[in-house]
Amino acid sequence: MEVVTGAMSTLLPILGNLLKEEYNLQKNTRGEIKFLKAELESMETALIKVSEAPLDQPPDKQQQKRPHSFMGFIHRSINILTKGKVRHNIGMDITDIKRRIKEVSERRDRYKVDSVVPKSTSTSTDTLRQLALFKKAAELIGTEEKSLDIVKMLMEGDEVFKKQPKMISIVGFGGLGKTTLANVVYEKLRGDFDCGAFVSVSLNPDMKKLFKSLLHQLDKVNYKNIMDESAWSDTQLISEIRDFLRDKRYFILIDDIWDKSVWNNIRCALIENECGSRVIATTRILDVAKEVGGVYELKPLSTSDSRKLFYQRIFGTEDKCPHIQLAEVSEKILQKCGGVPLAIITLASMLAGKKEHENAYTYWSKVYQSIGSGLGNNPDLMDMRRILYVSYYVLPPNLKTCLLYLSLYPEDYYIKTKELIWKWIGEGFLREEQGKSLYEVGEDYIAELINKSLVQPIDINIANKASSVRVHDMVLDLITSLSNEENFLATLGGQQTRSLPSKIRRLSLQTSNEEDVHPMPTMSSLSHVRSLTVFSKDLSLLSALTGFLVLRALDLSGCTEVVNHHLKDICKLFHLRYLSLKGTSITEIPKEIGNLQLLQVLDIRSTKMKKLPSTFVQLRQLVFVDMGTRAVSTLLLKSMCTLPSLSSLAIGLAKLTEEDLQILGSMPSLSDLSIRTVYWGKVREERIVIDKGCPFRSLTRFSFKSSSFIDFMFAQGTLQNLQILELEFYVEGIKDQFGDFQFGLENLSSLEHVYVLVHGCDGDGELIDAVQKMLDIKPNNPTLTVKMVGLAFPYKMTQHFFMRSGMAPNPLKGLRSV
């Protein structure tokens, strides 16, 4: 269903754009488009409601087939409405689309949307989770040490502090064992308290039932019949719980909270007395954990503990695997499990019955190969997916689509978030929100997937946002399985072995050589492909590019075998929105690039290209252009001013000039600018002043990297929206040339984060002191990171790390040398 809602999110903005005055549509045609837009918005609401069917009530096959058929119609409508410029006879196309919309509307009651029950908790899923509580503590490898950490968090402090109520949260990925760990702690400490209770929340809980269960567990005598009471309101139950707990030392475990509002509701019942009461909450969501307080982030098992748990479940001993061959494949399986106890136990259960079989190695190998492919249908594996699926189920439709898209990446792949967000934009998955650009919406999506423990942050940038993420193999298995069911994406190579669908909508090529591609997709199936991402050296499919009639996103990053002649076919892909040629061997782009009128993203970093054709400026829809470090001409910069939507630009310049700054500063939509200069010639006598003559009205991020030193400064009143500044330069000679280290940072009124990488050690103390003084006078107190690298590298390297924080009275005390 997410496939349909994702496609709908693409079509609706297109209809909105057609209503703009620039298309000069006839009055009746404009009215028809308004009708279509309203009707489709209504259908989208209905489809979203269907997608929120209860976990234990999946739609029947016929319901699934109809949305897929409808999705094909949506894609055809998109193709009709985006064939270059809107044609004069578009009215005929609109009439045809309207006819199809009416047909679907007349069948709407067949979807039985109104009979769909709102989201509710899946009993079967809760049952699976509760089974963890009845495992023997001795079998739970690694739990003892972690439980002691939790006990310490709960009980540490002086005598006065110990009397205060304390609440902590255990947060982590689904299947890490949060419930099990919390229960072990609860059982250890429960006897030291006057009363206690363990309540499970889950999705959209019945709060009356939860509060009744809490009262019943706190006092089973006085509240033995509370579960049968129907007259009590939520407010009365909360008041009753508070009265009961008022003078008691209580210990309560709240398991599996999914929403901050639910926690705040429960929190009202937990009176703050001075009896030394304690509360533990478990959740998969970081924001909820922070709301509770005292966050304990549960980590995966170590390699050693993973191995012990795996062998214990299969062989009854933690020591080692008795079979050499099975030991080898065991290590591969454990690597994919990533220390997640649920995954380890699930796979161990699957393998235990085959450990003595003569074909055990073959079977174990097949299990290993199926992990991450979404193809395994063993009952234990399905149970594990159901537990993980809950995290997917609660996502809004657009975010579900974005998560499914991650199934195109190979396992253990480090995904650059900037590239991912631009691909989402090219695919049409993101919708503008009030006061935010599409890219900012994408950043919020990444943050929410991290918050929900569905992706793992790998690298964090100076703005404290993830610059790269990874998908855990178990989540990859889940979303690949869902992707297969939805026919959302197909993979060639890697560990994907299923037969290809007749219509491929997104294709991820992960083969290592041509022989791995089996079976090859047919030309008819390629005609529906909207996205092609190549992680392989095999370029056999590129000869068929002209068959990709509706391709929107093409990623050939790192394909060194891609050369100039391949671009001829690429320039015929008229629906293309996203094109990455990063790291290819192209030396020039043909003038036919101007045919790609819908192109929004162009990445040509790390290529051998020397210049762009004049037709480049015809790409009026460009939003993102990354040219890497190769120097561009002033003439090309001037031509870019005609690109009205260009918001992100990365270029190389031989030398930064005042004319360059004036040109760049006049670009109306430019919000993200990266410049690298490679000039080693004569140094100018005075600094360039970036002032109001270079307005940069929309710029929020500026990165400047120089092979020499910085020879410009910011004047007062300039770059008023700049929030992030990154500078890289050589320090030698700056003071001799200009007399000081003043860059005018104090004049950047909105600055929030500054990162400075300096090469050389000449005057490094003065530089840090100067930068600190420039920022000290700023009321918003921006964060500052300074890194200095000695010129003797690689034989000798000195690094200084200086982190500036508003909490430190003297930031220079934080300076240290490594």
Claim to verify: residue 108 and residue 128 sit in the same structural domain = no
Of 148-152, 300-304, 545-549, least confident by mean pLDDT is 545-549
Please state the rounded mean pLDDT for residues 617-640. 88
Give me 339's structure tokens.
């220390």
Q: Decide which of 444, 472, 500 is a domain's last residue.
A: 472
- Would residue 385 count as lying in a domain? no
Rounded average pLDDT over 642-657: 91
- Helix (H), strand (E) counts: the chain: 27, 25
Smallest CA-to-CA distance from 727 within 758, 753, 699, 768 is with: 758
Percentage above 70 pLDDT, the chain: 73
Q: Best-predicted range by mean pLDDT among 69-73, 173-177, 763-767? A: 173-177
Q: Domain containing 39: what range?
A: 2-115
Q: How confident is the model at residue 377 (pLDDT cuts 50, 70, 90)?
A: low
What is the per-residue pLDDT across 732-754, written as a single tens digit (0 to 9) for each? 777 777 778 888 888 888 899 99
At 498, which CATH number? 3.80.10.10
Instruction: Quick: pLDDT tens for 485-541.
Output: 888 998 887 655 456 777 888 999 887 655 455 556 666 677 888 999 998 776 776
| Residue 746 DSSP one-character state | G
pLDDT over 80 at 790, yes or no: no
Domain shared by 128 and 228, yes or no:
yes
Q: How confident is the model at residue 233 (pLDDT cuts 50, 70, 90)?
A: very high
Per-residue pLDDT band at 474 (split at 50, 70, 90)? confident
**Higher-scoring residue by pLDDT: 71, 399:** 399
Contact by Cβ (8 Å): 74, 13: no
* Mean predicted confidence (pLDDT) in 357-368: 79
Q: In angstroms, rounded to a whole number, what is the distance separating the alpha carbons of residues 240 and 243?
A: 5
Q: What's the length of the chain? A: 818
Among 440, 472, 504, give the residue marking a domain's end. Answer: 472
Q: What is the mean pLDDT of residues 789-799?
A: 43
Confidence of residue 619 (pLDDT cuts 50, 70, 90): very high
User: Does 501 share its domain with 534?
Assistant: yes
Q: Give the pLDDT of residue 296.
A: 96
CB-neighbour burial class of residue 59 (10 A; exposed 0-12, middle 13-18, buried 19+):
middle
Whether 618 maps to a domain, the answer reads: no
Per residue, what are the HEC states of 760-772?
Answer: CCCCHHHHHHHHH
pLDDT tens digits, residue range 181-232? 999 999 999 999 999 999 999 788 999 999 999 999 999 999 989 998 888 9
**What local confidence, expressed as pLDDT, does residue 516 receive?**
52
The CATH number for 439's domain is: 1.10.10
pLDDT in tens, 560-576: 888 898 898 899 999 99
Compute, in degrees rounded to 10, the torsion defined by CA atoms 182, 184, 190, 191. -170
Residue 213 lies in a domain: yes
Q: Please state, in angstroms and rounded to a whole number, the distance separating the CA atoms of residues 506 and 42.
A: 27
**256 and 273 belong to one structural domain:** yes
Q: Are residues 43 and 76 in the same domain?
A: yes
Q: Which of 608, 624, 658 is the last residue of a domain?
A: 608
624 confidence band (pLDDT: 50, 70, 90): very high
Rounded mean pLDDT of the chain?
Answer: 79
pLDDT tens per residue across span 94-129: 666 666 666 666 655 555 544 544 444 444 555 555
pLDDT tens digits, 694-739: 889 899 999 999 887 788 889 988 899 999 999 988 887 777 777 7
Q: Looking at the 3D structure of the chain, how many domains does it have?
A: 6
Does 497 map to a domain? yes
pLDDT greater than 80 at residue 797? no
Domain of 288, CATH number, reads 3.40.50.300
Whether 749 and 797 map to the same domain: the answer is: yes
Distance CA 613, CA 616 (A): 6
Q: How far is CA 760 from CA 398, 731, 740, 784, 798, in A?
A: 48, 6, 16, 19, 9
Instruction: Please give the share of the chain, as a percent, with pLDDT higher than 90.
Output: 34
Q: Which among 730, 728, 811 is positioned nearest to 775, based on CA atoms? A: 811
Task: Answer yes or no: do 523 and 434 share one domain.
Answer: no
**Which pLDDT score, from 0 to 100, does residue 298 have?**
94
10 with 104, same domain: the answer is yes
Task: Reply yes or no on whether the pLDDT at 806 is more than 90.
Answer: no
Confidence at 812, pLDDT banded by 50, 70, 90: very low
Q: How confident is the model at residue 598 (pLDDT cuts 50, 70, 90)?
A: very high
411 lies in a domain?
yes
User: Does residue 239 carry a pLDDT above 60?
Assistant: yes
641/788 same-domain check: yes
How does pLDDT run across 687-696, given as a tens digit for each residue? Answer: 888 988 788 9
Sheet with 295-297, side-by-side order of all strands: 195-200, 250-257, 278-283, 166-171, 295-297
Inside any domain, residue 619: no
Residues 686, 794 within the same domain: yes
Residues 187 and 259 both lie in one domain: yes
Residues 73 and 142 in one domain: no
